[in-house]
């Protein structure tokens, strides 16, 4: 390995895939760490049919075999078991070629339910294991039960802090993410229905694909159809607009790694209502930088919605804390520097 120009192979899902892992790697690409370490992204998975997925996997494995002799470090991103099983082929090949390997786990509170021998092998044999929070680190140490593993915490980054105009704010609560049970979108509809008559000018806006028809039907049954908007998947200028104009952000998830949607909300200075899942407990302080309720507690969520809608002073105070988090703990430059330090430590130890 040349100390002058170390090279890193990044193994992860497609750069066009929607999701947290892709967003994180795109964020890493914006920093000097990507160019300084000559990073190259090997895309192992694509959101297409089975044939396309198999072809993408075969192509990525072939690329990896040809490139691995010329690289010094392999950085592997994975999450749930299907992702872990795909990445294990690359992990074993990297070890066969005697390369340094970093694994980067994008899970948190699901760990104890999906943990198996494969995850144990990853953590036991990797040179460094990156996790998304200190909560996750403690959970993994618990399931490892004293077995040796070099675990480090690296938060997901916020790429930038967009400028916002308070005069452009509209009376709506924004949800961004896949519409499914895991994200709790039905809980948000049910909770808002409890207070909607008190605030006829307010709406809930859902940005994301998934169970849209089911959401529309539920809103209709609860009598809030006129106060519920489903935009489908949005990005680019459309995404920027809805985040800038939103007054509140809500993510009632049952499980997360470290939700990029909440990081987006903090970047836009939105006051957040969310659940203490994934890595969020590392930083959440109820009533200060967010309003927090337990997953599935529709009554408590309704109270949180009522509280933020009715209290301009509280919304502004939590909004300031959101911006503070985006500019400090989760600042992209800070996170990328931490990643660069990890690369340097593992390559030159």
Beta bridge pairs of residue 249? 174, 272
Kindly tell me if the per-residue pLDDT of 3 is higher than 80: no
3 versus 104: the higher-pLDDT residue is 104
pLDDT at 167 over 70: no
68 or 260: which carries more pLDDT confidence? Answer: 68
pLDDT tier at 163, thresholds 50, 70, 90:
low
The separation between CA 2 and the C-alpha centre of its own chain, rounded to angstroms, equals 34
Cα 251 to Cα 272: distance, rounded to the nearest angstrom = 8
Give, in order, the Cα–Cα distances in Å from 286 to each of 274, 290, 314, 331. Answer: 10, 5, 12, 22
What average pLDDT does range 90-114 have in this prediction?
A: 92
pLDDT of residue 348: 86
The Cα 232–Cα 206 span in angstroms is 7
Q: Which residues contact 36 (CB under 8 A, 6 or more apart)?
A: 340
State both tokens at 286: 């109820």
Whole-number Å distance between alpha carbons of 272 and 292: 9
Please state the rounded mean pLDDT for residues 108-137.
Answer: 91
Q: So what's the pLDDT on residue 257? A: 85
pLDDT score of 162: 72
322-346 pLDDT, tens digit each? 999 999 999 999 999 999 999 999 9
Is the confidence at residue 266, as pLDDT, over 90?
A: yes
Percent of the chain scoring above 70 in pLDDT:
97
Residue 168's pLDDT band (cuts 50, 70, 90):
confident
User: What's the average model confidence in pLDDT over 158-169?
Assistant: 73
Q: What is the pLDDT of residues 8-52, one digit of tens each?
A: 999 999 988 877 899 899 999 988 999 999 999 999 999 889 999
Mean pLDDT computed over 239-259: 94
Q: Is residue 148 predicted with pLDDT exceeding 70?
A: yes
Write the pLDDT tens digit of every residue in 275-319.
Answer: 999 899 999 999 999 999 999 999 999 999 999 999 999 999 999
- Average per-residue pLDDT in the chain? 93
List, in order of start, the domains of the chain with CATH numbers.
Answer: 8-156+331-348 (3.40.50.2000), 166-327 (3.40.50.2000)
Average pLDDT over residues 166-184: 92
Bigger pLDDT: 1 vs 24: 24
Contact call for residues 279 and 172 (beta carbons, < 8 A): no
Q: What value does the mean pLDDT take over residues 183-209?
A: 97
The residue-averaged pLDDT of 93-99 equals: 97
Confidence of residue 108 (pLDDT cuts 50, 70, 90): confident
The per-residue pLDDT for 149 is 84
Residue 9 bridge partners (DSSP) = 40, 74
pLDDT at 166: 66
The answer to whether 227 touches 192, Cβ cutoff 8 Å, is: yes
Residues paired with 174 in a beta bridge? 205, 249
Scan for tokens 């100390």, then name that residue: 3
């Amino acid at each position: 390995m040349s100390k002058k120009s170390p090279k890193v192979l990044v193994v992860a899902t497609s750069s066009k895939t929607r999701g947290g892992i892709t967003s994180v790697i795109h964020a890493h690409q914006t920093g000097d760490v990507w160019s300084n370490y000559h990073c190259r992204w090997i895309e192992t998975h694509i959101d297409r049919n089975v044939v396309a997925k198999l072809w993408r996997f075969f192509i990525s494995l072939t690329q990896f075999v040809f490139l691995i002799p010329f690289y010094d470090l392999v950085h592997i991103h994975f999450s749930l078991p299907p992702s872990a099983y795909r990445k294990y082929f690359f992990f074993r090949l990297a070890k066969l070629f005697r390369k340094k390997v970093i694994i980067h786990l994008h899970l948190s509170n699901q760990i104890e339910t999906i943990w198996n021998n494969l995850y144990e092998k990853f953590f036991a044999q990797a040179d460094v294991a990156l996790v998304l929070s200190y909560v996750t680190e403690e959970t993994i140490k618990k399931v490892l039960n004293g077995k040796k593993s070099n675990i480090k915490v690296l938060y997901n980054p916020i790429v930038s802090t967009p400028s916002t105009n308070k005069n452009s704010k509209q009376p709506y609560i924004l949800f961004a993410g896949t519409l499914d049970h895991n994200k709790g979108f039905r809980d948000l509809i049910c909770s808002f229905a409890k207070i909607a008559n008190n605030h006829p000018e307010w709406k809930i806006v859902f940005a994301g694909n998934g169970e849209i028809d089911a959401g529309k039907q539920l809103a209709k049954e609860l009598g809030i159809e006129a106060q519920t908007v489903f935009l489908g998947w949005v990005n680019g200028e459309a995404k920027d607009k809805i985040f800038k104009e939103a007054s509140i952000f809500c993510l009632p998830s049952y499980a997360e790694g470290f939700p990029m949607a909440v990081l987006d909300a903090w970047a836009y200075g939105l006051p957040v209502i969310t659940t203490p899942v994934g890595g969020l407990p590392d930083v959440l302080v109820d009533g200060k930088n967010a309003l927090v309720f337990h997953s599935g507690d529709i009554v408590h969520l309704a109270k949180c919605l009522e509280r933020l809608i009715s209290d301009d002073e509280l919304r502004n105070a939590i909004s300031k804390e959101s911006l503070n988090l985006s500019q400090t703990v989760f600042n992209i430059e800070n996170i990328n520097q931490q990643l660069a330090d990890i690369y340097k430590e593992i390559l030159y130890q």
